[in-house]
Amino acid sequence: MSDFYKKILDNNKEWVETALAKDPNYFADLAKGQTPPLLWIGCSDSRVPANEIIGAKPGEVFVHRNIANMVVHSDMNMLSVLDYAVNVLKVKHVIVCGHYGCGGVKAAMGNQSIGIIDNWIRHIKDVYRLHNTYLDSIEDETERFNAFVEINIKEQVFDLSKTSIVQAAWKSGQDLSIHGWVYGLNSGFVTDLKVNISSNKDLDEVFQLKF
């Protein structure tokens, strides 16, 4: 057994002991069920842990993560998570949180083949294509990269709002808001990108579903 593998098993035991020392019923209460108020759609990057960033405890955040925090309308994994969060858990907020320095977004700005992930990155490239005039006008590469990260997050918020799952919830009067955040790896702070949607009225008419 490698030292690393043994260490993470030991870490688990220490974590359990610490949690039980603070509250003997901690895990018994967790096992009763979950009622998180929030669905977090974030990047798979190991440096962006959803719970820790917002100081949330286990049971308080339902999480879906993928490369570059994408909302792809044909992704059954994402849609299944979204459907369960909205229609079963009745979350009130969905946050799409990306981060500066995102490798997936950076890859989408270039042409280097990485492997099978190239097919996923095509979705990110489509976002660039929608905003290429503005992005190409930014001469500084770092500034362009940061702007692309922010734009990608905003587009994913709108893509979430376009799903039948979210629009059906709004139609039924469910309290549900979608937000876009960007996380700074070098600061630890999140920034609200001011794209907060709680109705399909914020969408172009062609995307407003009628039920």
Which residues contribute to the annotated binding site for Zn(2+)? 43, 45, 99, 102
Catalytic residue among 10, 23, 29, 99: 99
CB-based contact 135:109 (threshold 8 Å): no
Block residue for tokens 């108020």: 37
CB-based contact 34:56 (threshold 8 Å): no
Catalytic residue among 3, 10, 23, 47: 47
Q: Is 122 a catalytic residue?
A: no
Catalytic residue among 102, 123, 159, 179: 102
Catalytic residue among 43, 64, 123, 179: 43
Q: Tokens for 192, please give them.
A: 């609200």
Q: Is 45 a catalytic residue?
A: yes
Q: Is 99 a catalytic residue?
A: yes
Query: Which residue ranges make up the annotated binding site?
Result: 43, 45, 99, 102
Catalytic residue among 3, 10, 23, 45: 45
In the 3-class helix/strand/coil scheme, how is the chain assigned residue by residue?
CCHHHHHHHHHHHHHHHHHHHHCCCHHHHHCCCCCCCEEEEEECCCCCCHHHHCCCCCCCEEEEEECCCCCCCCCHHHHHHHHHHHHCCCCCEEEEEEECCCHHHHHHCCCCCCCCHHHHHHHHHHHHHHCHHHHHCCCCHHHHHHHHHHHHHHHHHHHHHCCHHHHHHHHCCCCCEEEEEEECCCCCCEEECCCCECCHHHCCHHHCCCC
Q: How far apart are CA 17 and CA 11, in angstroms?
A: 10
Q: Which residues are catalytic?
A: 43, 45, 47, 99, 102
